């Protein structure tokens, strides 16, 4: 089954925005839906600040994509322990070496059982990973990195950045606008639409993220969304999982150009049979600078599907390599980011 993703709005001059919610509130009103797949003032992301292949962020029950907690420029794994809510980091060893790729977990905080979503991103403007959470009441908080990887002193005091986030059921972080700060892409719960909440450029409570605009249609049945430059063109793509367990990628900047210079985007299948995994996230594991896909098998094994690292639109199934085993016993965690 192929998802029908299409652009429906853009954050640019001469583009009409749809019914924006006030800053600090999550909700947005969907536009009137047109028949078929077509661009309506097609959204185009900003060019990535980093090199092609930059990783954005992931959502759903297993968290968001990996980031650098230790300050060594390697992407670590953030996880929550299922039985007691301990928040912990598995530091990358800086060597892609099978089950020795990640070091033993380091607890960085406690009491995180009550959050329905936990992930990480670049929110305060530095290169270190901050922790983002959404609680059962829909309040979104950011715990900035303190600047030092030091156990329970790793995170600085939290800041509330939004309310009402239960209106969305998929949330992903990534620098979609290319300004060095991670933005939010979220799907409205029970809707066919995904929205962009652009970062304001400063971590400032309810002013941190701007009001949402609608950027995608056709995501009602999507199981997971991630943001990563899979197609290696310098723009973040949407990495998504379909209900039939097909992993796909959607590019904002591909497709035929209309008379206004907009593209409808294009999508490709990257692989099939992903029901063998019960968690998927995006990281950079093997040190080549390209986004890899991390997955947890149902038996608790952690594996990585390295990027090839090439992109061929005529052979997208060759994008990800065969999985490499990274560890055992990962079913003890109910968030893997």
Query: What is the C-alpha to C-alpha distance for residues 63 and 79, in angstroms, rounded to an integer?
Result: 8
Average pLDDT over residues 254-277: 88
Radius of gyration of the chain (CA): 18
This model's pTM is above 0.75: yes
- Between 112 and 41, the more confident residue is 112
**pLDDT, tens digit, for every residue of 90-108?**
999 999 999 999 999 999 9
Answer yes or no: are the C-beta atoms of 188 and 168 closer than 8 Å.
yes
**pLDDT, tens digit, for every residue of 236-254?**
999 999 888 899 999 998 8
Answer yes or no: are the C-beta atoms of 144 and 87 closer than 8 Å.
no
Q: How confident is the model at residue 227 (pLDDT cuts 50, 70, 90)?
A: very high
Q: Locate tokens 């904002």: which residue?
A: 252
- Domain 55-336 falls in which CATH fold? Neuraminidase (2.120.10)
Average pLDDT over residues 288-309: 95
Q: How confident is the model at residue 64 (pLDDT cuts 50, 70, 90)?
A: low
Task: Tell me the β-bridge partners of 6.
Answer: 217
Q: Is the pLDDT of residue 213 over 60?
A: yes
Domain ranges of the chain: 55-336
Question: Residues, the chain, total?
Answer: 337
Q: What does the pLDDT read at residue 24?
A: 59
Q: What ranges in the chain are assigned the alpha helix state H?
A: none
Q: Which of 277, 284, 222 is nearest to 248 (CA)?
A: 222
């Amino acid at each position: 089954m192929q998802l029908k993703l299409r652009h429906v709005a853009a954050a640019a001059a001469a583009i009409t925005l749809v019914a924006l919610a006030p800053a600090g509130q999550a909700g947005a009103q969907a536009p009137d839906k047109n028949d078929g797949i077509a661009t309506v003032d097609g959204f185009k992301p900003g060019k990535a600040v980093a090199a092609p292949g930059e990783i954005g962020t992931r959502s759903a029950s297993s968290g968001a994509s990996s980031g650098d907690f230790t300050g060594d420029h390697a992407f670590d794994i953030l996880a929550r322990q299922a039985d007691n809510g301990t928040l912990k980091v598995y530091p990358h060893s800086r060597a892609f070496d099978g089950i020795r790729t990640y070091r033993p977990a380091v607890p960085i905080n406690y009491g995180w059982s009550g959050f329905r979503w936990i992930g990480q991103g670049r929110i305060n403007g530095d290169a270190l990973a901050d922790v983002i959470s959404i609680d059962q009441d829909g309040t979104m908080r950011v715990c900035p990195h303190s600047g030092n990887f030091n156990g329970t002193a790793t995170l600085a005091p939290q800041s509330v950045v939004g309310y009402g986030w239960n209106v969305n059921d998929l949330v992903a972080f990534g620098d979609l606008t290319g300004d060095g700060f991670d933005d939010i892409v979220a799907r409205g719960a029970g809707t066919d639409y995904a929205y962009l909440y652009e970062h304001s450029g400063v971590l400032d409570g309810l002013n941190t993220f701007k009001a949402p605009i609608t950027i995608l249609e056709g995501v009602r049945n999507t199981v997971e969304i991630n943001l990563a430059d899979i197609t290696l063109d310098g723009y973040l793509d949407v990495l998504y999982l379909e209900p039939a367990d097909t992993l796909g990628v959607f590019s904002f900047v591909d497709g035929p150009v209309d008379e206004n210079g907009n593209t409808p985007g294009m999508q490709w299948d990257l692989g099939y049979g992903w029901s063998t995994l019960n968690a998927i996230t995006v990281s950079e594991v093997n040190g080549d600078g390209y986004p890899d896909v991390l997955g947890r098998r149902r038996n608790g094994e952690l594996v990585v599907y390295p990027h090839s690292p090439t992109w061929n639109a005529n052979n997208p199934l060759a994008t990800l390599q065969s999985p490499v085993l990274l560890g055992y016993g990962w079913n003890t965690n109910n968030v893997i980011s």
